[in-house]
Amino acid sequence: MPPTIGLLTNPYSGGNLKSLSTIEDMLSGYSNVVHKQASEPKSIACAISEFADKGVKVLAINGGDGTIQAVLTSLFVHQPFQEKPFLALLQGGSNNLIAKDVGLSGPAHKALQRLCDQYNNKGNFKVVNRHILRLDLPAPAENRVLYGMFLGSGLLATGVGIYQKKIRRFHLIGDLNSLLAIGYLFFALAVKGKTYFGAGPIRLGFNENSLSSQDYLFFLTTTLNRLIFRLKPWWGRQYAPLRFTLVRSDYRSLAKFTFSLLVGFKSHCNKKGNSSISHNLYQLRIGCNPSLVLDGELIHPPKSDQPILVRDGGVASFLIDKK
């Protein structure tokens, strides 16, 4: 009988540095699971291709947000499966932003055991379909097309850089990483000023509209339903798959946005002239080619007259626990 579950593990993801041996010991009792370890996009793509050849129906991803992003890119760009598998996201990374929204709950090894034991009993899981974000970069970028679920720029990209340089080496797990990065970021913002972080004008085009200059401190666009600390920092009412929020570059705007986070984004957030904007979009074009963060991975697009394009990339099916 062909295997039905393919497990891709990134051994260097934060959560796997201590628990990988537990997962390997557990898998010895399951004959219907194919396990591959991979950490780079090329090796991940090779593993995904092997899973397709072996008839895998459920693809379990044991890694962080960057690993999930590489898997999504492989699935949607190379399309090795005739029919895309169900995705089961395990919390094997340091932050697990995506898995906490659309993945299996609990520690990675316990979630995997639950999946292996109960998958044939479909009543224990439900399938949710989510849109995937597609990012088209201009030439001469080596990887022109990437897929993911969260994209940000400005202060958000700076925050990820701080995490990678200052915090990741401590191998912390969970929201403490985000708290430390945010604290360090606000301290640096107070000491060095917003110009240090590249705040200022950026050219953006919403849907079919032409590019126009926007003053910004950061923006985000996502297909997730919630972010860190279960926050939902958007309030657009348009029917479209991409949630987009921009905060302007003055300190008052940042203070208002932070206050709105605490009170749950009441209707005052959408008043005319407000220092933050939020829309639901079908596509976003980004001029000036700023540094970006896609699912926790920093991207430095090449300088080009062509804008970066962000759009709906299709739908993936995720297995999550029934509540």
pLDDT value of position 268: 43
Reported as a single tens digit per residue, the pLDDT across 81-129 is 999 999 999 999 888 999 999 999 999 999 999 998 887 655 688 999 9
pLDDT value of position 198: 62
Range(s) within the chain of domains with CATH label 3.40.50.10330? 5-131+316-321
d(CA 286, CA 167): 29
What type of residue is 211?
L
Range(s) within the chain of domains with CATH label 2.60.200.40? 134-313
Mean pLDDT score across all residues of the chain = 87
The CATH superfamily holding the domain 5-131+316-321 is Probable inorganic polyphosphate/atp-NAD kinase; domain 1 (3.40.50.10330)
Which among 85, 75, 88, 67 has a CA at the least distance from the CA of 49? 75
d(CA 31, CA 62): 18
In the chain, which residues have pLDDT < 70? 1-3, 120-123, 193-199, 251, 259-274
pTM beyond cutoff 0.85: yes
Reported as a single tens digit per residue, the pLDDT across 76-86 is 999 999 999 99
The answer to whether the beta carbons of residues 42 and 48 sit under 8 Å apart is: no
CATH 2.170.130.10 correct for 134-313 = no
pLDDT value of position 267: 45
Rg (CA), the chain: 20
What type of residue is 202?
I
